[in-house]
Amino acid sequence: MKFTIAVSALAFATSTFAASCARHTPAAVYEYEIIAEGVPNIPDVCGRLWNELSQFSSCVVGTSHSCEERAPPNGRLRWVFSVGYGCDGGAVEAAWWDATLNDYGAIDCP
């Protein structure tokens, strides 16, 4: 009986990751900040993120940008960049999807 309960609990357990997107407007630019948990091989994921964002001509990244692992815990990705007002949240969400397939959670950018 205990075994059946344990197996049932495992069957319903799912691994979910949280990802978030925030947009700030400091001065004539949008500054996006995306945070995701449980990301393996962050340098590789960051490379794909930059590559996918570059498909949008309106999303030319300014000089203030980074994509790196933040601790704790291990596997926390922080992607921050500034772009002109032409780069809307939909483009950022599309780049995230193309680079990660939402494996670390979907983002909803304003």
Domains of the chain: 29-100 (3.30.70)
* Cβ atoms of residues 91 and 4 within 8 Å: no
3: tokens are 């075994």
| Identity of the residue numbered 11 | A
Q: Tokens in use for 52?
A: 């996918």
CA–CA gap between residue 87 and residue 100 (Å, rounded): 19
Tokens of 59: 């999303």
State the Cα–Cα distance between residues 110 and 107, nearest whole angstrom. Answer: 10
State the greatest distance between any 2 C-alpha atoms of the chain, in Å, as a whole number: 63
For residue 20, what are its two tokens?
Answer: 């978030």
Q: 46-101, pLDDT tens digit by residue?
A: 999 999 999 999 999 988 899 999 876 689 999 999 999 999 999 999 999 999 99
pLDDT for residue 3 is more than 50: no
Distance of CA 69 to the CA centre of its chain: 12
Residue 32 is encoded by which pair of tokens? 């996006």
The pLDDT score that the predictor gives to residue 12 is 36
Amino acid at 81: F
pLDDT at 73: 65
| pLDDT tens digits, 5-62 | 433 333 333 346 789 999 999 888 999 999 999 999 999 999 999 999 999 999 999 8
